[in-house]
Each structure stands twice: as C-alpha cells, then as structure tokens.
Amino acid sequence: MQATMSTLLQPAQKERMTAAVRVRTSCRAYAGDLAPAQTAQLAYHAGRYALPGARLRLVPLPENASTNITGCRAAVAVLVDGDSWLHRLNAGAIGEAFVLEATAMGLGTCWVGGSFRREAVRDVAAPGETLLALIAVGPPATPLTAPATRQRMAPEHLCQGNWRQWPEQLIRAATLVQQAPSGMNQQPWSLLIARGGGFAVDAPVHSALDAGIAILHAELALTTPHTWRFSDAPGAPLATAVADDRMI
C-alpha cells in the first residue's frame, strides 16, 4: 500500500531527520563522486520515498547541468505525474525526506528548481512526467556544520494566533519549519490552529512544492496520531493535520 503523508516516516526516521535539520544548508560546492556504497544507499532512499503522483529518481548530474553548483556528479530528479498541486506538494515532502536522509549520511544537498539547464537532463522524465526540480547530492567540499544563524522569519511572523500557548509538539514543529529550505528563501508559509481544530500549514497553492517541504518538517515533530487533509478552497488552509482521536 502506498504511504500517505502521515505514514511516510517511522519514529527512527523522524529522529534521524530531526538531527539532520540542524546541519542542513544548501551546498553549492562538492568534492566529486559518491562512493559506490553511498550511491546504493541514496538509490534506496530515492525509491523508498514516494507519495501519490510523485517520485524521485537518482541520476548522474552532467557537468554542464547546473549554473551555480560545482563538483557535483549526482542528483535526484523530483518528478510528478502531470502537474497537479497535490502532486507538487507530495513531491516537496518526499524530496525533503531525501535531503534529510542524505544530510544524515554527511552528504551535501541543494534543491535546484531554477538554476539548471533543462536540456542537459531532458531524458530523466518519462512520458507524462514533469521534472519539478533537481536535488544536487554528493560529498561536500567542506564538512557539514550547523550554521550560526539562518535568515528566517521570526516565530511571530511564521505562526498565527496565540502560538506561545501551543502544545509543545506544535512549538517544536514551528521550530523545524522555520529551518526548512524554500525557493529563493521566500518561506511562503504560515502555521496556525485551524478553525475546526487541527494544526495547519498554509501557503498559496502555487507554492505547493515549498509547502510540502514545510509539511515534512512539521511532520517530524507530530507525535499524536493524525491524518493530513489538503484543500485549495478559498479561506481554507492548504494542509491540516487532524488528530485521529483527539485534538493535537
């Protein structure tokens, strides 16, 4: 049975990825080839993280493919069926799961949505698939270290309402979302308690890929059994985690 957003990650994966969030930054300078064992492990992660309409494929990165990344020889192609916003949201989540797994292996990663030459990787998408982005991956030129600071929205801008009173798991979710990567660092999301209850990640529908990344980071902190619901109806949050038997 295919995973859903709430069943994608087991507790051990969440723990590993949460530690990886602290040291992940976009890496644009790499030290060449992956070791064969690393390639095998990354291919395994690329195959294992899939959600409806979205999948990952580990591919060689041709030398001329990226316009601002050096020394990188591999990438994951982030692929969706057609171009539905839900598929793009799912693609953001699985791509970020891959990023955090690679980070946990000590590898550098960088989402690349714009700064690559499409003609250099035109064979990676099958008929009917859309290539949304690449994720560069490889040994970093300098070892990964947690950045001293990140340019991010303050919690009072990221979170709506009385967030200081939120349960601890939601405060942790906000801290993890705050560190998430986004295209041009736009952080096009906000967090809130939805009107009917549940913890919501809201974003414009055209930012569904970034929203999926934020949801994956939030998911790392959620311990109450829950189900994610998605909506593009006006006034409704894009994604809401609703507790299966009580309020989150």
Ligand X SMILES: Cc1cc2nc3c(=O)[nH]c(=O)nc-3n(C[C@H](O)[C@H](O)[C@H](O)COP(=O)(O)O)c2cc1C
Residues that bind ligand X in the complex, under the rule CB under 6 A: 25-26, 68, 110-115, 133, 150, 181-185, 209-210, 213
Residue number with CB closer to ligand X (205 or 247): 205
Residue number with CB closer to ligand X (139 or 198): 139
Which residues, 6 or more positions from 211, have their beta carbon under 8 angstroms from its beta carbon?
89, 92, 188, 189, 201, 203, 238, 239
Residue number with CB closer to ligand X (218 or 248): 218
Taking the complex as a whole, how short is the minimal distance between the CB of residue 219 and ligand X, in angstroms?
Answer: 16
Q: How far is 246 from 113, CA to CA, in rounded Å?
A: 38
Taking the complex as a whole, how short is the minimal distance between the CB of residue 181 and ligand X, in angstroms?
Answer: 3
Taking the complex as a whole, how short is the minimal distance between the CB of residue 59 and ligand X, in angstroms?
Answer: 17
Taking the complex as a whole, how short is the minimal distance between the CB of residue 28 and ligand X, in angstroms?
Answer: 6
Residue number with CB closer to ligand X (198 or 212): 212
Are 56 and 76 spatial neighbours (Cβ–Cβ below 8 Å)? yes
Q: How far is 79 from 247, CA to CA, in rounded Å?
A: 34
Q: How far is 240 from 237, CA to CA, in rounded Å?
A: 7
Taking the complex as a whole, how short is the minimal distance between the CB of residue 237 and ligand X, in angstroms?
Answer: 20
Residue number with CB closer to ligand X (182 or 240): 182
- In the Cβ-directed half-sphere of 242, how many Cα atoms lie within 13 Å? 12
Are 122 and 57 spatial neighbours (Cβ–Cβ below 8 Å)? no
